[in-house]
A and B are shown apart, each in its own frame.
Chain A
């Protein structure tokens, strides 16, 4: 598919920041290649795009994007982005961060921004652990997995992130892995272009601090995944053994926060 855009993917990557900090085999780097491609495909004026990240390995993404970007405190990327979007609705605002940042310390902000239908996109690198601090268990760690802080096996069930996003009211919900380069790029583009709160989960277990100790973890390769756009979001809970379902599960419309607010204050 061709796109009418003045930009290429490389226009969105800072060329003066190499080498990047991520490990070999980490899924973040290919994911931001997809992200840069998606931004280019939208054709949106680069000066009107803001990328916000929290803390952690994925929290570093904002710093590598060539556009306005902000590296916020741990878990607070979404409320920061909410302030940006409401203060200047002409900006396209994307939060790109990790599972611990968005769903442990930042979980409350996620559910409320989704409920309000703030017109931002949230992309989540779900690597299953706290990677940067050395592989501690996260709200996305599989049951039974060994991590630095679950040495007897993780005893907590992980979040089903697409289900969480859907139940809070997200208007676009997808899950991919970096193995699906084209699909992930297209999904990010759709999410950015969707009016309202959109969410894309990118499942890519940490090679250094998770898969190394849990070799049976599903790393999201194409042979261990299956595309099912019509999958019921309730069924998307994943375990080490099961095949991972990917796809775009939710597309719907709901009035965004600013419209709801303006309709009431202008009457």
Chain B
């Protein structure tokens, strides 16, 4: 049977629409949000589409409520999502923290704009990378993917749902104002070839079910409301029954497991694309919209005889340290262009750990970095 929710075929979509359709194709049937530029098209598409496929759309009173409703819908058994931009994400963070603590699968799309504060509502930025990683208070690990095209807005949103259900964690799509508004060809595959993961259900009786007991892969099965397990979930530190246990011992067990379930599975979560790495002593590291200009800069450099490679990080969190330490040990120079004043470049510096030089190429926001500027940095490093 053909799944009517999956729009199999070729489309000419903007990134934000592709994001919404990726979510629907992944099985998302609940969206709560609040209008914000440059992410509103995702909410608008969900408002049109979800009622057609037995989904629920609600526009909440603010982003705090949106994120709370997304968690509630996930606990009621639906794959759930919200979409926003930096100012909205600032408000969502308290409930994203709750989602981490209660191990609630959900997806948050942040279409980044120039910032801080109200910043540049209609123009591009990449300065929320650290906010996604550290914005909620406390220690945690998060998963985030950064699309660089409309096609990737679709594909990575599908992947984000897959990972959020698999690891019971909120997953970010760190898009940006240009990727979100960029209109390109998007190929939607047949429904049966779209990877889906549905959270594991407990296979024991109510009496024996421990909602936060360690499973083999560190991710406990999830009974949702209405399943008959009388579950209790709390943002307080809790024991394996889900009951509050505000002790140092319970904290140690819980936090180490919440972090461990991501860190131990980093190979499964990581996505990247390496181009011309075989002979490169110099590599441009990029993510999101900046990847597009970096690809051009690398081609220009190659045409001028500069042996430069391109490492495009698709999964920015957890940061793929291992790529820098082990996969590409011969690289001497890392160049990190990004539309912020230096965020991921710090991660690269940490991961490279002195085994090469790391050069940032910064832009305060409002436009992409020009390929020519990156090329001039590469040429300078060749001298």
A-side interface residues toward B, CB under 8 Å? Answer: 14, 16-17, 46-48, 50, 52, 60, 62-63, 66-73, 75-76, 78-88, 90-91, 108-109, 112, 257, 261, 265-266
Contacts and interface: CB of A to CB of B under 8 A. Distances in A.
Contacts of B78: 87-88
A87 B225 CA distance: 10
B76 A108 contact: no
B263 interface: no
Given A14-B232, A70-B75, 4 more contacts: A68-B230, A70-B225, A83-B76, A85-B72
Contacts, number: 142
Given A83-B32, A84-B73, A84-B76, A47 B65 contact: no
Given A71-B235, A87-B76, A87-B77, A79 B69 contact: yes
28 contacts: A14-B232, A47-B230, A48-B226, A69-B233, A70-B72, A70-B75, A70-B232, A71-B244, A72-B98, A73-B235, A76-B95, A78-B65, A79-B66, A82-B58, A83-B68, A83-B73, A83-B76, A83-B80, A85-B72, A86-B30, A87-B30, A87-B72, A87-B76, A91-B76, A109-B64, A109-B65, A109-B68, A257-B58
Nearest to B29: A87
Contacts of B80: 83, 87
Contacts of A90: 226
A68 B56 contact: no
Contacts of A112: 60-61, 65
A14 B206 CA distance: 13
B119 interface: no
B200 interface: no
B76 A88 contact: yes
Contact of B226 (A71, A80, A83, A88): A88
A78 B128 CA distance: 28
B98 A84 contact: no
A83 B98 contact: no
A76 B177 CA distance: 29
Given A68-B225, A73-B235, A83-B76, A108 B68 contact: no
Interface string B210-247: 00000000000000011111111111100001011000
B77 A83 contact: no
Given A67-B230, A90-B226, A108-B61, A84 B72 contact: yes
Interface residues of B, number: 45
A208 B94 CA distance: 30
Contacts of A17: 243
B189 interface: no
B267 interface: no
Given A83-B68, A83-B70, A84-B225, A62 B77 contact: no
B98 A109 contact: no
B64 A46 contact: no
Contacts of A86: 30, 56, 58, 69, 73
A151 B32 CA distance: 42
Given A73-B98, A87-B78, A82 B65 contact: yes
B71 interface: yes
Contacts of A69: 230-233
Nearest to A118: B58
Given A68-B230, A73-B98, A82 B72 contact: yes
Contacts of A46: 230
B226 A47 contact: yes
B226 A68 contact: yes
Contact of B56 (A66, A87, A91): A87
B195 interface: no
Nearest to B65: A79
Contact of B228 (A47, A81, A108): A47
Contacts of B232: 14, 62-63, 68-71
Contacts of A88: 76-78, 225-226
A90 B78 CA distance: 13
Contact of B94 (A73, A84, A266): A73
A50 B56 CA distance: 19
B68 A84 contact: no
A91 B225 contact: yes
Contacts of B64: 75-76, 79, 109
Q: Which of A60, A84, A91, A265 has the most CB of B within 10 A?
A: A84
Contact of B51 (A52, A60, A265): A265
Contacts of A257: 58
Given A83-B73, A261-B51, A73 B68 contact: yes
B305 to A, nearest CB: 57
B137 to A, nearest CB: 11
A79 B69 CA distance: 5
Interface in B225-284: 225-236, 241, 243-244
Nearest to B79: A87
B62 interface: yes
B234 A68 contact: no
Nearest to B97: A73
Residue from the set B74, B80, B226, B243 with the largest chain A CB neighbour count within 10 Å: B226
Contacts of B58: 82, 86, 257
Sorted nearest first, the 3 A-B pairs with minimum C-beta distance are A83-B72, A83-B69, A265-B51
Interface in B68-118: 68-78, 80, 94-95, 97-98, 102
B65 A76 contact: yes
Contacts of A16: 241
Contacts of B69: 79-80, 82-83, 86
B201 to A, nearest CB: 14
A109 B61 CA distance: 7
Contact of A71 (B32, B227, B229, B236): B236
A169 to B, nearest CB: 14
Nearest to B241: A16
